[in-house]
Structure 1
Amino acid sequence: MTGRQYWLAIALVAAAPTAAQLNQQQGTAPARGPDAPKTDPQTVGSPTDANAPIVPDSEFNASLPPLTGDINAPLEPMPAQQAGTPTASTPAVPATTQPLVAADGTLPPAAAENPELAQPLQPLNTFDTAPLQTAADIKDKDAPEIRYDTELKGLEKLDLAGQFNSLSALKEGKGKAANATQVAARAREDEALAVRLMKSLGYYDATAISLIETPASTDPNKPGRLKATVTGTPGRLYRLSSVKVDTQPVVPADLVTRNLPLRVGDPIEAARIQGAEANVSLVLPQQGYPFVKVGERDILLDDQAEQATGAYTLPVDTGPRSSFGQLVTTGDPVFGVDHLNVFPRFKSGDLYDSRKTDDLRDALVATGLFRSVAVEPQRTGRTNADGTEAIDLLVRQTEGPPRSLAGSAGYSTGQGFKAEGSWTHRNLFPPEGALIGTVVAGTQEQGLSGTFRRSNAGQRDKTFTAIASAVHQSYDAFDAFTGTLSARWSRVSTPIWQKRFTYYYGGELVGTNESVYDFARGDTVRRTYGIVALPGQVEWDTSDSLLNPTRGYRLRLNLSPEGSVNGGVRPYVRTMIEGTVYYPISSSLVIAGRAKVGSIQGIDRDDLAPSRRYYGGGGGSVRGYGYQRLGPLDPQGNPVGGRSLNEFALEARYRFGNFGIVPFLDAGNSYESSLPKGSDLKFGAGIGGRFYTNFGPMRIDVATPLNPRPGDGKVALYISIGQAF
């Protein structure tokens, strides 16, 4: 037998006898060390000697079966064994235990199946999915509730107490908790919060710890309130040891560094660093770099030096220096490229400025024709003579609904109730040719009008308007049926786009039949007037809002050369100058003032159509007096109007939240003369309420005349949208 054959035979037969011997008697390892039991010298070497071998060699060798030299000989069959009869190689087993395999090689019969295993599984929807509750999650309404107080230490000197209190889990609990475990959990959250706040100011070694105390209660029947104390320890303040920017060459060379307002020695404050990086992202696109990308900052802290510092590095990919190229468009064809080129406030070749791109988008939004619109710079690879890359602006158009319905309503003493509704198709005659139908219904005014309006007519912000209207007005001053045809070119402000300088000019043809008091006859008669007018207006507006200004001023001049045809042609000129000013005393109080002066030159009052005269009184004039009630009166007590006017108003606008209170004082009058007088002013005073909405304030004013005349009411009420001026 070769060596390989020998060891293979040993591997096949050695395991069973060895396992039998090991199972017959458990071996015992000798105990050694100072704690080992003492042995009797006389028993050393006896069969009970602890150091004797577990299986003697003679017994081990005798148990080995005889080996054959034929490695291919079949294995000897395993002897049959009765249950419960031990052999040298197998331990005794109970008689009740069946062998895994019978003597004839067959498997024993299967055990009886457990009937519960045959039952169907329980449906998923019957499982109880409620999570287990812990002591900190007691939600029983009858469970005892504990109270606690919160104290903060260490953050007040860093001015972090306000931020901590607004974010604190303990403060959010409002001093109530289900149990002490819940209070402790909130305190641990506030520990982490305190550390974050301190690190945000540059205290990167900051630590915080919380302590829950149970003071003794003065009432033995009530438990004492817990006290949760969060103490923050800021540690050293880290400052910038260096500021490095990795970027490409730019024009000018210090463009990036001067717009990154970080200096060596500055505290490493998170808000300050983020703000400085945001400034780079904001300013560079305004200086010709539309594709700038500010990378991830790296701050290497040094906590081993005497002074805690951090080395700051910021990668900045500026992209190419660029100039404006062309407009291109995609999406819905609301506007073609020709009309889109009306809107930009820049020329091709100008250095790129993101503010002008935003301005273009705002102008497109103001048309009201888009559901969504975006203006995005696109690289072209075209290089200009100055070395800049020409950047096209891609306008993505998504068409919005062109039709809209609008309505407004108001009430004032003297004018009564007035409601106005309109239907508009903003692009019936492309581009931006709108058709507007308007209906006015009120107790003292009714009318219909149709308007054609062309916005951005050949020039941005320039509008052409043509109006045909028919109106009936019935007031104390006159009763008139008026038809008007007018055309006007204008540049005016809108709630979306408020402009500093605005104007309009145009022409009007007016035919009106009106009631007028004839002083020569001593009675009211009806007369028909034909009027040709060339009205115009210029306005300079520095206020910060159209409907709710809080600062700035406005100056407005109206001039209208007119001719009246009533048995003859009489030319005259109507002028009006108005100024308003808004001065904020504080964030909640604004003082507003208004002055207005008007004059009509070149015609007698009685030759003027009553609707073209000046009147005072009402919600937009001197509050407390009826609409158009100020000025000369006829013998019947009705106003007849005048050729001049002056008005003054002062308001204190106090706002608290979405509400406001406005006490006011008004003064003014109208006069028969062509120039106003400083005497004979009528005063009205009152108080108003304001409810501020996202589109402007709702106004309710109540006023009373301070020096009324016979026939003037004691109280006047005005309801409308927007401030009085």
Structure 2
Amino acid sequence: MYCLLTIFFSNLILCVLRCVFCLKAIARKYIFPAVLVGSVLFVVPARVLAINYEVTLQGVKDTSLKETLEYSSNLFQLKKVLPSTSSALVRRASLDLDRLKKVLYAFGFFAGKTTIKMNGHEDVASNLALLEGQENVVVELIVDPGPLYLVGKIEVEGIEGQKEAFKPPLQSGKPALASQIVEGENYLVHGLQHLGFPRAKALERRLVINHQNQTLDVFFKIDPGPKVHMGDMVLQGNERSDSDFLAQRQSWKSGDLYDPDKLRNFRSDLSGLDIFSAVRVDLENPPLPENLQEPFLVPVAVSVEEKALRFFGFGTDITTTQGTSLRGFWGHRNLFGGAERLRVTGRLSRIGKNDFDKINSNLDVNIFKPDWLIRHQNLIVNSSLDKEHYDAFERKAFTGFGGVERKLGKYFSLEGGIRGEISNVKNQEGETDFVLMGLPVDLKYDTRKDLLDPKSGMWSQIAVTPYMTLKGEGDGFVINRFASRLYHSIDAKGQWVLAGKAVVGGIVGDSLTNIPADKRFFSGGGGSVRGYEFQSIGPLAANLDPRGGRSLLEVGAELRFRYKDFGLVPFVDGGNVFSTDWPSFNGQLQWGAGIGLRYYTKLGPLRMDVAFPVNGRKNVDDTVAFYLSIGQAF
């Protein structure tokens, strides 16, 4: 019995397999080709029957209105997606009637009319036969905007006790533009928030068209919510940061009336410490008490996410005038919980330009302590070891600096301190050991928003450093330097930016030969006048090595064009160094010009410039110079 069942099921399985193979053969031979042919027959006629059409917009003279109408029209925007039938084209045109009406309303034309003609016929929707057999259709959008309506009555409900505190920008008699109406509503809400009503919101916006007077009456209903006073700060997320240190930076006192600007400034202030990756500052949202009494005190919730304590990085610059430079840094951004920052930077430069044993090396250690002794006053301690070999001089030095930096309002900052330096300087005039003590004072003005790639704003600096010579030739000297950079965006999107710079410097005091060579002024190179060797502009020694001078004048301009992640920058630089205390503004400058490419990254633009000396000196200046670096030239 078992054997018979086995034989039966074996034969059954073989029959099923034969059927499957037969079906596959039939499908491969007959069904698949039929489906393919059917697909071709289905697709090809659809393409052949597509309706080609041309569309124009008539009757509108205002450029902005015309552009908006075309942008909102399906007939214009879907021009490359041809309708398959005449009825589909008519349906597309019919949908445009409502879209164009909304655009006219937004521009204040509430009596406007739109007519659509196809091949000269208006009422095509009711008689599609007019388009039968037509492979090309001419579509005309004829728009009559009609009169421009003005704002009529303006009524606001819900701010009875605050009407005199602020006046919304929406005014009777002005064009009834949708953007102005929305802006007026937002102004009411934001104005109430600045008066201590953080929960203010718009409940209703009602518009009434008066065709007889050609006006639009506007009614706003606003819910101001409760008047709120800011309470104590409730801090979360500061595992390694000192709570007392953060509380000292608080921009309000408990009981102050709610002010969104104070909270926004506090958030910006905490973000500027560079110890948090995210900062959120907002009022807590407690339920309203049944018997609300003034003052209604609400705590301020502050939530932070801390950055990693340690950081490191590296970079490189490559130029034909200075060779290759390599730099690396390591740091700690929160040493003791008060945003104390330590940064150690090492740098090797003039690789490929100098002999191997004369490669420049620098080691810099910087400590930064915010809010030292008083608010907005920072302690800066810096020391450096330098070994430098340039055509103008060779130098070995140890430098130490201690000072303070203080904010003077939103845009100004003042830095001052004491600097000591022990150095050995060798140039064409000989070799001298120096011990200097300086008292640098530096005033800065900065309105730039983007430091790596500014599109607007201004940066200016006045730096004065008197030096006393404790060892070496001479008694002392004062270095004065004035610099400014200006950025202007030509278009609204910031694709075209005009950037300019100017630098003026002068040294008074000791004679030039008694001033250490590294403290003199030099010009030329990627950071000053491109197209010239580093420090090569100015007085030269008999062997054509630069001597440096007592004064400096530099100017430069760039036209920066950006398209997506790429940019093109034509530029011109000029400068010279003089032996007088102050530069001669009538003196000849050495000019360089060129063009640069930019590739924009999150770390800043990658810069590649090629520059040529315009009035280069014979047997002194090369014919071309290349620069590769990160960041704009200035």
- Normalised by the shorter chain, which TM-score bucket? 0.7 to 0.9
1:286 aligns to what?
Answer: 194
For the 8 Å contact 1:624–1:703, the answer to whether it is kept is yes
Partner of 1:530: 435
SS of residue in 1 equivalent to 2:312: strand
186 and 401 in structure 1: CA distance in 2 versus 1, 3 angstrom threshold? farther
2: CA distance, partners of 1:717 / 1:242: 66
The partner residue of 1:361 within 236, 259, 267 is 267
1:502 paired residue among 408, 413, 428: 413
Q: Which has the larger radius of gyration?
A: 1
Match of 2:65 in 1: 160
- Conserved? CA contact 1:334–1:397, under 8 Å: no
Q: Residue by residue, what CA displacement relative to the aligned partner does 1:62-89 show, whole Å, maximum 9, x if unpaired?
A: xxxxxxxxxxxxxxxxxxxxxxxxxxxx
> In the alignment, is the contact (CA less than 8 A) between 1:237 and 1:267 conserved in 2?
yes
Aligned pairs for 1:131-170 (under 5 A) are 143-144=47-48, 145-154=50-59, 159-170=64-75
Aligned with residue 428 of structure 2, among 493, 517, 529: 517
Q: Which residue among 89, 94, 102 is the counterpart of 1:183? A: 89
Report how far residue 276 of structure 1 moved: 0.7
Match of 1:631 in 2: 538
Structure 2 residue 621 is the aligned partner of structure 1 residue 716: no
Residue type of the partner of 2:412?
A: F
Would you say how many aligned residue pairs link Structure 1 and Structure 2?
Answer: 564
Residue 318 of structure 1: aligned partner: 224
- After superposition, the Cα gap between the structure-2 partners of 1:250 and 1:330, relative to the gap in structure 1 and judged at 3 Å, is farther
1:641 maps to: 548
Residue 130 of structure 2 corresponds to residue 225 of structure 1: no
Q: Give distance in 2, aligned partners of 1:247 and 1:639.
A: 75
**Alignment partners' CA distance in 2, 1:407 and 1:629:** 28
Label 1:582 to 1:449 Cα distance change in 2 as closer, same or farther (>3 A): closer
- Between the aligned partners of 1:138 and 1:201, the Cα distance in structure 2 is 45
Task: Name the CA distance, whole Å, in 1 between partners of 2:63 and 2:363.
Answer: 66
Selected match of 1:606 from 491, 513, 525:
513
In the alignment, the residues of structure 2 paired with residue 231 and residue 139 of structure 1 have an alpha-carbon distance, to the nearest angstrom, of 35
| CA shift in 2, pair 1:240/1:683, >3 Å | closer
Amino acid at match of 2:386: V
Residues 479 and 506, structure 2, Cα contact 8 Å, conserved in 1: yes
Paired residues of 2:386 and 2:396 also in contact (CA < 8 A): yes
Q: Residue 52 of structure 1 corresponds to which residue in structure 2?
A: none
Paired with 1:575 and 1:236, the residues of 2 have a C-alpha distance of: 65
Offset, 1:197: 1.5
Cα distance in 1 for partners of 2:483, 2:152 equals 59
1:23 aligned residue: none
Given candidates 207, 210, 217, the residue that maps to 1:299 is: 207
Q: Please, what TM-score do these two structures have when normalized by structure 1? A: 0.68
- CA 1:214/1:154 → structure 2, altered by over 3 Å: closer, same or farther? closer
Per-residue Cα deviation, 1:7-35 (whole angstroms, up to 9, x for no partner): xxxxxxxxxxxxxxxxxxxxxxxxxxxxx
2:386, 2:397 within 8 Å by CA — same for their partners in 1?
Answer: yes
Say whether 1:663 aligns with 2:571.
yes
C-alpha deviation, 1:376, in angstroms: 0.9
* Bigger RCO (CA 8 Å, 6+ sep): 2
Q: Distance in 1 between matches of 2:522 and 2:480?
A: 14
Taking a change above 3 Å as real, the CA distance of residues 579 and 294 of structure 1, as seen in their structure-2 partners, is same
Deviation at residue 149 of structure 1 after TM alignment: 0.7
SS of 2:249's partner is: coil
Between Structure 1 and Structure 2, the one with more helix by share is: 2
Q: Which amino acid aligns with 1:369?
A: I
Q: Which residue number corresponds to residue 453 of structure 1?
A: 368
Aligned partner of 2:177 among 263, 269, 283:
269
- Provide the residue aligned with 1:255 in structure 2: 165
Distance in 2 (alpha carbons) for counterparts of 1:271 and 1:478: 64
The CA deviation at 1:375 is: 1.0
Task: Measure, in 2, the Cα distance between the counterparts of 1:245 and 1:334.
Answer: 50
Q: Residues 608-638 of structure 1: CA distance to partner in whole angstroms, max 9, x if unpaired? A: 3322222122222233321111233333322
Query: Residue 537 of structure 2: SS of its match in structure 1?
Result: coil
Aligned to 2:303: 396
1:225 maps to amino acid: N
Shift, 1:667, TM fit: 2.6
Aligned equivalents of 1:138, 1:501: Cα separation in 2:
72
* 8 Å CA contact retained: 2:116, 2:140: yes
TM superposition shift of 1:357: 1.6
Contact 1:147/1:175, CA 8 A, preserved across alignment: no
How far, CA to CA, are the matches of 1:235 and 1:581 in structure 2?
46
Deviations 1:257-293 (A, max 9, x none): x12x334455543222111111122222223332322
Whether 1:465 and 2:380 are equivalent positions in the alignment is yes
1:327 has 2:233 as partner:
yes
Does the 8 A contact of 2:457 with 2:488 survive in 1? Answer: yes
User: SS at the partner of 2:95?
Assistant: helix
Extract unaligned runs of 5+ from structure 2: 1-38, 122-132, 352-358
Equivalent residues of 1:625, 1:705 under 8 A apart: no
Q: What is the TM-score of this pair, normalised by structure 2?
A: 0.77
Provide the secondary structure at the position in 1 that maps to 2:428.
strand
